[in-house]
Amino acid sequence: MIQVVHTIKEVREAVRQWRKEGLTVGLVPTMGYLHEGHKSLVDRAVKDNDRVVVSVFVNPMQFGPTEDLAQYPRDLAADTRLCEAAGAHLIFNPEPEEMYDEGFCSFVDMNGPTAELCGKSRPIHFRGVCTVVSKLFNIVMPDKAYFGQKDAQQLSVIRRMVKDLNFPIEIVPCPIVREADGLAKSSRNTYLNPQERQAALVLSRAVNLGRQCVENGERDTHKVVEAMKACIEQEPLARIDYVEAVDFQNIQKVDVVKGETLFAMAVYIGKTRLIDNFIVNI
């Protein structure tokens, strides 16, 4: 039976017991409303570790004042069923007050990789992510932690943070899981009405087009980005937030496709902001 706990103390007790037994521990941090994308992370974690903790926490600190914190979908019962079926051992589902008590005033912040892409349109987002992930690392103290390439900038930022702050944790990247028609799975897809759901396919179409351009030999990132933008602009319900090419290691803009290059986009479909990306390694 999977255990669902709400306090830091309970997590620490469970992990302390596992460690006494010499077991390894994997952590999958999530905001809940779990889907096949999250499940692929849990599956991988179950394969790699003796015990797996899934955190389910809609972290207020990473949402801007005009963002979707209040309406973000939640369903702990369904999340519990998914995690149990996947073979996870513990769900950590704290209230915001458990994570941020009165007087909380310490933050983990970063320069550089957080300046571009989502960091531009969501200025406080990565400070919230780095702070909560650091806290989860300190609470669970896992051997490995699992992050999806769906949030490629977040993956790069967390890798850098782990290196910079010497967390003794291996970060395991996991590939993007998509719907049958190509749309990257996301808890936010539930915001889309049927017409928007159809329009949202323009993101994966742009990903495929961009990848094709690079496979056909294009090395000028601006030309690839222009082709992707032109593709997205054909969809009347879509509004581009950004489409950019950056070095995947440091998230700085690049002119030429070389090494690990991340092509990332954020696009509004109606009021819903969706992200997608692909990485090439030349």
174 contacts ligand AMP (rule: CB under 6 A): yes
> What type of residue is 60?
P
Pull the structure tokens for residue 42: 């849990």
Angle made by CA atoms 95, 98, 104, in degrees to the nearest 5? 125
Of 6, 35, 38, 125, which one is the catalytic site residue? 38
125 contacts ligand AMP (rule: CB under 6 A): no
26 contacts ligand AMP (rule: CB under 6 A): no
Give the β-pairing of 272-281 and 260-269. Answer: antiparallel
30 contacts ligand AMP (rule: CB under 6 A): yes
Backbone angles phi, psi at 236, to 5 degrees: -60, -30
Query: What SS3 state is found at 171?
Result: strand
Pull the structure tokens for residue 256: 């030429």
What per-residue string of b and e applies to 77-116 under the rule 16 or more CB within 10 Å gives b?
eebbebbeebebbbbbbbeeeebbeeeeeeebebeebbeb
Residue 5 near residue 14 (C-beta atoms within 8 A): yes
Pull the structure tokens for residue 45: 């974690």
Residue 147 near residue 41 (C-beta atoms within 8 A): yes
Active site residue 38: yes
At closest approach, how far in Å is the CB of 188 from ligand AMP? 8
At closest approach, how far in Å is the CB of 45 from ligand AMP? 11
Among 1-9, 170-178, 193-201, 248-256, the segment contacting ligand AMP (CB under 6 A): 170-178
273 contacts ligand AMP (rule: CB under 6 A): no
Among 83-91, 142-150, 213-221, 273-281, the segment contacting ligand AMP (CB under 6 A): 142-150
Considering only residues 178-207, where is the footprint of ligand AMP by CB under 6 A? 184-187
At closest approach, how far in Å is the CB of 59 from ligand AMP? 8
157 contacts ligand AMP (rule: CB under 6 A): no
Q: Which is nearer to ligand AMP, 18 or 147 (CB)?
A: 147
Binding site for ligand AMP (CB under 6 A): 30-31, 37-38, 40-41, 147-148, 150-151, 174, 176-177, 184-187
As annotated, the active-site residues are: 38
